Structure 1
Amino acid sequence: MDFNITAEEEALVFHVASLLQSGLSPTDDDLVEELGDEVRPLLQSLVDKGWLVIDKERELTLSVIARAAVSSRKDVEGP
């Protein structure tokens, strides 16, 4: 896993985490529709770095380590 991510990638990780927490199961196409085509390379980078996982239905989820990082960061930032 590559722990070096850009601010844009970090924002996208937190966006995906928020969607998942809301009970949604976003796909890459859902995020492209919502955020634009420029998000596709960010998604691929996060998959390559081990932050996002794509299941067989193309739904995105956070990796175990990404979930821990998001949880830890939320604890620091507060509600």
Structure 2
Amino acid sequence: MTTGPALVSILRQGSYLIASIHTALNDSQLIRFQQDLIEQIGRYRSMGVIIDVAALDVLDSFGSRTLRNVAEMARLRGA
């Protein structure tokens, strides 16, 4: 269990999920975010996902690729 402020919050609004990334994430945190979000899409049978990256100053190539993978996996799960 980690302590400190949450780096990413995933909220459910009806049949949609809203994931807000509050600060820059390292590679392992991005992978954890991907796993958590995909797991919640399946658990709640979400119809759609919004990923808010407005708080980020820079998004590197690994982060961009990870977000693209999340979008592809979400589509395969019907979100």
**TM-score, normalization by structure 2:** 0.36
Higher normalized strand content (fraction of residues): 2
